[in-house]
Amino acid sequence: MKKLFEIKNLNMHYPVVDGLLGNLKGYVYALNNVDLDIYENEILGLVGESGSGKSTLGNCILKLLNPTSGEVIFENENILSKKKKELKDFRKKAQLIFQNPYMSLNPRMKIYDILKEPFIINGIKDKKIIEDKIKKIINLICMQEEVLNRYPHEFSGGQRQRIAIARAIILNPQFIVADEPVSALDVSIQAQIINLLIDLKEHLNLTMLFISHDLSVIKFISDRIAVMYLGEIVEIADKNELFNNHKHPYTEALLNAVPVISEDKGKKIILSGDLPSPQNPPKGCKFHTRCPYVMDKCKCNQPELKEISENHKVRCFLAQEIL
């Protein structure tokens, strides 16, 4: 498999300042030494609790945020070292779908103008090319051309998300970050949008980072899954391996939180307590304050993300010990 992105040692530490004088109080450690490869034409699911750093990672990969340090290699270049003007080509190739379709579409613009905007931004003025592409894309998202003359408020949440997706793919990107794209929608609509994203991925040869806090959604759409906790990847594997042979206690706890009809009354890890503050993360293994298997060494030593079998990496002493 060919890598589309190589993310190396990515850190995002937001300074926290105090009062009027702006004295530095500390940092919010949103991303810590994230290493991640994203392969061409895969859907990589990124899962974790709210506040675990998933959206920050998505935004840093697209350079919508400037990370504190690290590299994001795309087509043999570190896009983090590029200036704004040099990013124009990259912006066409890598797009974001937002969580909230109610906020992401300009309410004063007709759908046609919303879909035309990316062409204007990129200096494409040929009316025929623009019109043909808009009509094609509207058909691709299973809507009728008559919607082009209407405003966003005339549509349901699911329809708005279809339009937001159309805008994201209209310039034929290679890569999409879909940041919780169904979590603001009714459950009955979620499956339609997920199926649309799967179809578009196949049809347009897209690569996607699909961010969600919901493992059942992630399971449905992803080829591989990365689990995040307090700004770190704690486990990453192919979907079936992660669901059937997960090794990190946090992954286990997340899976136990997914409702299933089962007779299994065996011991289960239930996630207790809140996510610790990313401003003051625990020393050692960041999960040790909530881990039922915690050992003394977990409290002072930080486990590395290590490969325990082919394409399966885990950040846990216990999983690495029983190899």
63 vs 247, beta carbon nearer ligand SF4:
247
**Could you give the count of Cα atoms lying within 13 Å of 29 in the half-sphere of its Cβ?**
16
**Member of 60, 287, 305, 313 binding ligand SF4 (CB under 6 A):** 287
* DSSP symbols for 77-123: EEGGGS-TGGGHHHHHHEEEE-S-TTTSS-TTS-HHHHHHHHHHHTT
Closest distance to ligand SF4 from the beta carbon of 262 (Å): 24
| Degrees to nearest 5, angle at CA 298 with 293 and 303 | 110
Name the one range near ligand SF4 by CB under 6 A: 23-31, 118-126, 201-209, 313-321: 313-321
Q: Which of 117, 11, 107 is nearest to 57 (CA)?
A: 11
* Bridge partners for 179 per DSSP: 211
Closest distance to ligand SF4 from the beta carbon of 230 (Å): 11
236 vs 285, beta carbon nearer ligand SF4:
285
In the block, tokens 């949008």 appear at: 193
Contact status: 316 vs ligand SF4 (CB under 6 A): yes
Name the one range near ligand SF4 by CB under 6 A: 46-54, 56-64, 167-175, 312-320: 312-320
Closest distance to ligand SF4 from the beta carbon of 157 (Å): 37
Residues in the chain: 323
91 vs 288, beta carbon nearer ligand SF4:
288
Contact status: 288 vs ligand SF4 (CB under 6 A): yes
Please answer whether residues 320 and 314 qualify as being in contact, where contact means their C-beta atoms are separated by less than 8 angstroms.
Answer: yes
Contact status: 249 vs ligand SF4 (CB under 6 A): yes
Residues that bind ligand SF4 (CB under 6 A): 249, 285, 287-288, 291, 293-295, 298, 303, 316-318
